[in-house]
Amino acid sequence: MFGKAKYSFLKAHEILWKLGYWRYLLIPILLSMVLAFVLTVLGIALSSILSLWAYEFLSQFFELPRILREVLILVIIICEIGPLYVAFRSLVLVCYAPFLDRLSIKVEELVNGSAKEFSRSFLETLKRPLLMAAFTISASVAVFGAGLVIGVIPFVGLLISAGLLFPLQIFLSSVAYVDTYLERIGLTPKESFKLMRKNFGSMFIFGLIGFAIMLIPVVGWFVGPTYSVVAGIVFGILISKEREGSGSA
């Protein structure tokens, strides 16, 4: 489970730095910086609105001590980070979309030794990343909503909510990155998601590594997605090979 994710990021490091491919990704890196700033501002505004609403709601319908209400509001705000993180990760990939075909070919050549040429128009390159962004962000918001409902149950609900929300949000934050290669080999969004869900454990580890890189102040916010873009292609190659092997067995 850990092996595929580890190999993917080690290969991404080699491709980006040893082979110098980071130079070809300067434009999307700059775009991701702008996106990070915009989403941070939106996140702060949303947190403010959400905390005011939650405090009023809890005060009106639940006889809870003030300290407990404040703890619940803090948990809600922390949980809200999940959809924002998924939104950032998914929309960042849209910034990389025009470069993904070329990058995918180069990565496949390095991993497999050869690659089939693949080229599309600019608009075509945007379709799938936008579709996956819409799907993952919607799913993330739904998970967040379910977490709020479960979290209303005192104490136990918070534990269950936290235990479900974190792995699901991390999984969703990785979907668009791995889908990059799965689209290239002809899988539909449904087939792609089914294959990723089958590899949920490895996908979670993959997302967790990407999340850990993002925790590095400033540098990690912009380098993290770039690593994940390349590592996602490698990861997609690995799980597609397993799929072919199981299919032929």
pTM given for the model: 0.82
Residue 249: what pLDDT?
A: 41
pLDDT tens digits, one per residue of 14-29 = 888 888 877 767 777 7
Helix (H) or strand (E) holding 94: helix 66-112
Closest CA to 180 of 238, 236, 110, 241: 236
246 assigned to some structural domain: no
Say what the alpha-carbon torsion angle 162, 87, 90, 146 is, to the nearest 10 degrees: 40
Q: Do the domain assignments include residue 165?
A: yes
Question: With 90 as the cut, is the pLDDT of residue 60 above it?
Answer: no
In a domain, 247, yes or no: no
The full DSSP string for 157-169 is HHHHHHHHHHHHH
Query: What is the per-residue DSSP string for 179-241?
Result: HHHHHHTT--HHHHHHHHHHTHHHHHHHHHHHHHHHTSTTHHHHHHHHHHHHHHHHHHHHHHH
Lowest-confidence region among 61-70, 80-89, 186-195, 201-210: 61-70
Q: What is the pLDDT of residue 48?
A: 77
Sequence-separated (6 or more) residues with CB below 8 Å from residue 124: none
What is the end-to-end Cα distance of the chain in Å, rounded? 21
Q: What is the pLDDT of residue 248?
A: 44
Under a CB-based contact definition with an 8 Å cutoff, are residues 209 and 178 in contact?
A: no
What is the domain extent for residue 149?
2-241
Residue 95 lies in a domain: yes
Non-local (6+) Cβ contacts of 224 within 8 A are 210, 211, 213, 214, 216
- Domain count of the chain? 1
Question: Is there a contact between 21 and 225 (Cβ–Cβ < 8 Å)?
Answer: no
Sign of CA dihedral 34, 29, 2, 108: positive
Do the Cβ atoms of 136 and 53 come closer than 8 Å?
Answer: no
What's the pLDDT tens digit per position in 183-228?
A: 988 899 999 999 999 999 999 999 999 999 888 877 777 788 889 9
What was the pLDDT predicted at 232? 94
If one counts every other C-beta atom within 10 angstroms of the C-beta of residue 182, the result is 26
* DSSP state letter for 115: -
pLDDT of residue 158: 66
